[in-house]
Amino acid sequence: MKILLINGGKAFAHSGGELNNTLHAVALDTLKELGHEVRETVIEQGYEVATEVQNFLWADSIVYQMPGWWMGTPWTVKRYIDEVFTEGHGSLYASDGRTRQDPTKHYGSGGLLQGRHYMLSLTWNAPIEAFNEPDNFFEGRGVDGVYFPFHKSQEFIGLAAQPTFIANDVMKVPDVERDKAAYRTHLRRVFG
Ligand SMILES: Cc1cc2nc3c(=O)[nH]c(=O)nc-3n(C[C@H](O)[C@H](O)[C@H](O)COP(=O)(O)OP(=O)(O)OC[C@H]3O[C@@H](n4cnc5c(N)ncnc54)[C@H](O)[C@@H]3O)c2cc1C
């Protein structure tokens, strides 16, 4: 399988970006060990938008490695998506999917990457209970509920989700070896 790894780690304020770099490296090693062909983009090192469109056209699966910032995607990763997906009009997506005959239906069905996948690998300081418990901060919506607009942006270009990985408590109770081991297990289950 051809897999594009996107590292959205960034040093900013109290975030060092190192945990994301570490998990990105775990994915590189593990997926190569499993025999997959891997390309990587490290957003902080810069990228060519046209090359990224080609990477999306090349990949069977795209893995996004990123921290949770203010309840969602860091602006650098959002900018990457805005730039690359917009450039991909005509190759990543044909249109918004609607027809003039029935303009209220099928919005979001114009993606051209049908049959391909993406996966989120996330780092958050929040504990998992904040996502899953009905009486906790995210009202029981779960991690994928919190990332609903992000998931929809991927579906818009035709991609389908693979199971999300999240490392929790990464500042308050950091345990990098635990997170690395859990991510390796997750990758082997999804891509093995
Ligand atoms: C603007 C902003 C908004 C934020 N908003 C939220 C939010 O809404 N919700 C939330 O839960 N969190 C939030 N955070 C926290 C953020 O999610 C975490 O800081 C981030 O996930 C940590 O990832 P990192 O790669 O920056 O880790 P780092 O800060 O680099 O590392 C985290 C810990 O792991 C250790 N570590 C990392 N790599 C290694 C290694 N290889 N070996 C040994 N130890 C290592 C570090 O020493 C540190 O103790 C926010 C942070 C910022 C800056």
At residue 142, the pLDDT reads: 98
Ligand 1: which residue has its CA nearest to atom 12?
A: 125
From the alpha carbon of 11, which atom of ligand 1 is closest?
A: 26
Ligand 1: which residue has its CA nearest to atom 14?
A: 69
From the alpha carbon of 9, which atom of ligand 1 is closest?
A: 25
Q: What is the DSSP letter of 162?
A: P
Task: Find out whether 117 and 163 touch, Cβ atoms under 8 Å.
Answer: no
Task: Find out whether 24 and 7 touch, Cβ atoms under 8 Å.
Answer: yes
Q: How far apart are CA 170 and CA 15, in angstroms?
A: 10
Confidence category of residue 182, pLDDT binned at 50, 70, 90: very high
Q: Which of 10, 15, 178 to mutate to test the pocket of ligand 1 (most atoms within 8 A of CB)?
A: 15
Q: What phi and psi values does residue 118 have, to the nearest 5 degrees? A: -145, 160
pLDDT 10s digits, 18-35: 999 999 999 999 999 999
Q: How far apart are CA 8 and CA 26, in angstroms?
A: 14
Torsion over CA: 85, 154, 164, 167 (sign): positive
At residue 79, the pLDDT reads: 98
From the alpha carbon of 14, which atom of ligand 1 is closest?
A: 53
pLDDT 10s digits, 128-161: 999 999 999 999 999 999 999 999 999 999 999 9
Spell out where the chain has E strands.
2-7, 37-42, 61-67, 117-123, 160-161, 165-167
Q: How far apart are CA 66 and CA 86, in angstroms?
A: 21
Q: How far apart are CA 185 and CA 178, in angstroms?
A: 11
At residue 80, the pLDDT reads: 99
Nearest to 125 by CA among 162, 85, 169: 169
Whether the ipTM is more than 0.95: the answer is yes
From the alpha carbon of 168, which atom of ligand 1 is closest?
A: 11
pLDDT 10s digits, 81-124: 999 999 999 999 999 999 999 999 999 999 999 999 999 999 99
Q: Does 124 sit in the ligand 1 pocket, CB within 6 Å? A: yes
Task: Find out whether 116 and 157 touch, Cβ atoms under 8 Å.
Answer: no
Q: What is the DSSP letter of 181?
A: H
Query: Measuring CA to CA, how many Å separate 139 from each of 70, 95, 145, 191?
Result: 16, 34, 10, 31
